[in-house]
Structure 1
Amino acid sequence: MISYNSENDFLFGNEAQVSVWLEAVILNEKFKLGEINYIFCDDDYLHKLNLEFLEHDTLTDIISFDYTVGKIIQGDIYISTERVEDNAKDFSVPFIEELHRVMVHGILHYCGYKDKTAKDEKLMREKENYYLQLFANRQ
């Protein structure tokens, strides 16, 4: 089950479509969906989590807490809608596209993909682009 919650005034509109897509991503990566909670928030909220749990004094667009057991994907994914909005402007893409990228990014981390090295980041971007295209083709 995928749930969507908000700690700010953000309203996520296409929950059903996105849930079907993200579950397809999980199944395609040979995992099973357990329980994933997306929590949309602002920069201040996510910055506090970043300081408290990761000891990073920086803004970020996403923090994920992975509770995956074996092949069952579970976790809490916090997304700063403010960071996503700024990143969308920086990358000249629509907000919703950048939001979907960040959402699938969290899922891909749960599937074992990393992004700390240039090689890992390249593979992560390829996977994100692949799954974003799959979602676009469903529309």
Structure 2
Amino acid sequence: MISFNYENDFELPDEAKYEEWISEIIDSEDKTEGEINYIFCNDDYLLEKNIEFLNHDTLTDIISFDYSMGNLISGDIFISTERVKDNAIDFNVAFEEELKRVMAHGVLHYCGYKDKTEDDVAVMRAKEEEKIALFHVEQ
């Protein structure tokens, strides 16, 4: 079950479409969908989580808490829409594109992909692009 929660004034335009897409990402990795909660928030909210749980006093676009067990993918994914907006400008991409990248990124972590080394980052970026391509404009 995939749920979307909002701690700011942001809202996904079509939750059902995003839910179907996230399910497709999980399925494409031969994993089983458990309970995944997306929490959209602002920088201050996510900074507080970053300090409280990770002892990092820095802004970030995403923090994910992985509760997966084996192939059952579950967790909480916190996304700062403020960071996503700024990153979209920095990377010269549309907000929606950057949001999809970050949303996919969180789930890909649960599927076992890392981003600590340069090689890991390269694999993660390729997987993000592959999963973004699964998002269908027309259903």
| TM-score (norm: length of structure 1) | 0.96
Aligned to 2:133: 133
Write out per-residue CA displacement over residues 62-87 of structure 1, whole angstroms, 9 at most, x where no aligned residue: 00000001111110000000000000
Partner AA of 1:71 in structure 2? N
Secondary structure of 1:56's counterpart equals: coil
Write out per-residue CA displacement over residues 79-131 of structure 1, whole angstroms, 9 at most, x where no aligned residue: 00000000000011110110010000000000000001000000000000111
Q: What percentage of residue pairs aligned between the two structures are identical? A: 61
Secondary structure of 2:50's counterpart equals: helix
What are the equivalent positions in structure 2 for 1:84-123 lying under 5 Å apart?
84-123=84-123
Secondary structure of 1:90's counterpart equals: helix
Secondary structure of 2:35's counterpart equals: strand
Structure-1 separation of matches of 2:49 and 2:118: 26
Distance 1:63 1:83, change over 3 A: same
Provide structure 2 residue ranges, at least 5 long, that are not aligned to the other structure: none
Structure-2 separation of matches of 1:18 and 1:51: 29
Structure-1 separation of matches of 2:91 and 2:70: 35
Structure-2 separation of matches of 1:2 and 1:60: 22
Aligned to 1:13: 13
* Alpha-carbon offset, residue 134 of structure 1: 2.2
Aligned to 1:27: 27
Secondary structure of 2:22's counterpart equals: helix
* Alpha-carbon offset, residue 138 of structure 1: 5.6
Write out per-residue CA displacement over residues 9-54 of structure 1, whole angstroms, 9 at most, x where no aligned residue: 1111121111111111101111000110000000000001000100
Distance 1:59 1:101, change over 3 A: same
Provide structure 1 residue ranges, at least 5 long, that are not aligned to the other structure: none
| TM-score (norm: length of structure 2) | 0.96
CA RMSD of aligned residues (A): 1.1
Structure with the bigger percentage of helix: 1
